[in-house]
Amino acid sequence: MKKSIIFIFAAMLMLGSAYADVTGSTVDPSDLGVGARPLALGKAYVGLSDDANGLFINPAGLAGIRSFKATSMSGQVLQDITYVLIGGATPTDYGVFGLGYTNVGLPNIPVTTTAGSGTTETVVNIGTTNYYSSVLTLSYSNDLSKISMFQEHKNVTYGVNLKYYMQGFEGGGPTMRGANGTGTDMDLGFQYKPRTGLTLGLSGLNILPVSMGGKFSWDKGGVEESIPATIKAGFTAKLLGKDSFYGSKQDVYFGMDMDTFPSLNRQAVYHTGLEWSPISVLALRVGLDQKPKGTEDGNEVDNNLTAGIGLKFNGFTFDYCYHQFSDLTENTTHFFSIGYVGEEEKQKSAQEQKKIIPVVVPSVSLETFSDVPPGFWAKSPIEFMATLGVMNGYFDGKFRPDDTVSRAELATMLVKLKKLDVNDATSDPFPDVSKDSWAARYVKAVSSMNLMGNYPDGTFKPEKKVTKVEGIVILSRFTEAAEPGPLKKDPFVDVSQKHWAAKNITAAQNYGLLDYLIGKKFEPDKELTRAEVAELLSKTSSGKERIREFLKVGI
């Protein structure tokens, strides 16, 4: 992390402990209301938060969603306490906005008074009352780089929740009159992706100091209570699946979180969870959800086992969670959630059907690499480009898919893919590209084709790494993708229609070059990897034609 990010995290920790002296404290009902999926993962979710449930744990995760998402949950705790949750989030041109509501209720609580005195004193039931505790959450999240002073932080997202609390009793007659109150507070979260398949998360819940309005006030007597902060830190690693550590058709996530309580005398608790999706419509989950025990010193914890299952159908999700609470079997609770992940999943499925490259081609022999295992998301494009001689492996039998690509290397690949006959350069093509350079003839060729030109100072900068936006502009020209008319929407959530390359990016989308980015951010300033270049080259008109020719010969 860079210094400014560390400063933000440290400031959040200090805010969480900056409480004035107030009477008692108010419990946050959203502590449990996080959705059946996160609960089944033991609440190890601060580094994942990739659906509407993230609104209740780490709103920074919402910054990556591409379409409207919703969640709901219901359940019963300790047999009598009812629990209801509903939430949703949607991306806009100005970031992702979300809205959530959580309610805990305990009905039919007896209200009593005493009659008589001394030995004749009796308890008289005068009615019942219903207890409720609710919190309304308004959320906003976006890329940190959208803030001018943090433009260099390309892999960091942030999220903010503004929370409004309502708590009290309904009914019960004059005795319970005024036993209601309201309060406000704030959550702040961050996510950072240091590499493919790994996300770090940090979230501060209820971090607003009392002096800034982070408190709960009762109507009766004007009593004020604090809303204790919780600082959550953790990670989620995608072990298998697309954009994972090892690559596979199956998705496997593992997460671990730690909760600390800066304003309470409690020890830290931990959460762990594992999610396995053997097929796209099914997910199996297990977890461990630690909670502080209600002891005087607060230094004991309950180790609550969790498990669950998730199903997807036509954009909707159905999740079940089994959750222990302490060691008592009667405290075991079952939660159910219905959610919506929307067109993102449908669109992805439809786009995948358009792929022309088969995953398995048994009739031909392709070049393979030790670091491109079965199931790796770009395995077929890499092997085709290597077999066709467009891209080369390394002497140690590796392809190094995560390495980046220089301008000279990309120029060479384009010329080789096009099978152009190029002559040695008789003069220096550019001031910084000598005619004796290995790349001189390739650089000269792409320059004459108006695919890659010089910078304002006249140089070519052959060793400069190619960013994603630069590469897509070049490849869009290379494949002669039709440029669209006036744009009516942003091509990606992190690329507005006013971006200088918006039309090139949209043209590449329409042609199918960017199918691998469906459901993801574009990250225009991120450097292209060798795996991405192989994928992109295989989707160009020249790439498709070369592969078709090869398959016909192989067959």
* C-alpha to C-alpha distance for 470 and 459, rounded to whole angstroms: 16
The per-residue pLDDT for 347 is 43
pLDDT band of residue 11 (cuts 50, 70, 90) is: very low
C-alpha separations of 307 from 271, 283, 287, 300, 333 in Å: 13, 11, 6, 23, 11
The per-residue pLDDT for 209 is 87
Please check whether residue 85 is in contact with residue 100, taking contact to mean a CB–CB distance below 8 angstroms: yes
* 199 and 92 fall within a common domain: yes
* 291 and 418 fall within a common domain: no
pLDDT band of residue 112 (cuts 50, 70, 90) is: low
The per-residue pLDDT for 391 is 94
* 331 and 376 fall within a common domain: no
* 268 and 138 fall within a common domain: yes
Measured between its terminal Cα atoms, the distance across the chain in Å is 51
* C-alpha to C-alpha distance for 273 and 234, rounded to whole angstroms: 11
* 359 and 267 fall within a common domain: no
| 176-187 mean pLDDT | 85
Choosing from 293, 308, 342, the residue where a domain stops is 342
User: What is the radius of gyration, based on Cα positions, of the chain?
Assistant: 29
- The domain tally of the chain equals 2
Token reading at 545: 């034609």
Which residue blocks in 17-125 are alpha helix, DSSP H?
36-40
Cβ neighbours of residue 39 closer than 8 Å, sequence gap 6 or more: 32, 287, 289, 306, 308, 321, 323, 335
Q: Of 52, 35, 72, 46, nearest to 230 (Cα)? A: 46
* 328 and 410 fall within a common domain: no
| 28-32 mean pLDDT | 76
Please check whether residue 87 is in contact with residue 100, taking contact to mean a CB–CB distance below 8 angstroms: yes
Choosing from 300, 316, 342, the residue where a domain stops is 342
Domain ranges, residue 495: 349-554
Please check whether residue 516 is in contact with residue 378, taking contact to mean a CB–CB distance below 8 angstroms: yes
* 284 and 358 fall within a common domain: no
* 381 and 417 fall within a common domain: yes
Mean pLDDT of the chain: 83
- What CATH number is attached to the domain comprising 309? 2.40.160.40
Q: Of 73, 76, 75, 54, nearest to 63 (Cα)? A: 54
The per-residue pLDDT for 238 is 92
* 238 and 256 fall within a common domain: yes
3-state secondary structure 26-38: CCCHHHCCCCHHH
The per-residue pLDDT for 204 is 94
* 358 and 378 fall within a common domain: yes
Choosing from 342, 373, 401, the residue where a domain stops is 342
| Global pTM value | 0.60
* 336 and 357 fall within a common domain: no
* 233 and 313 fall within a common domain: yes
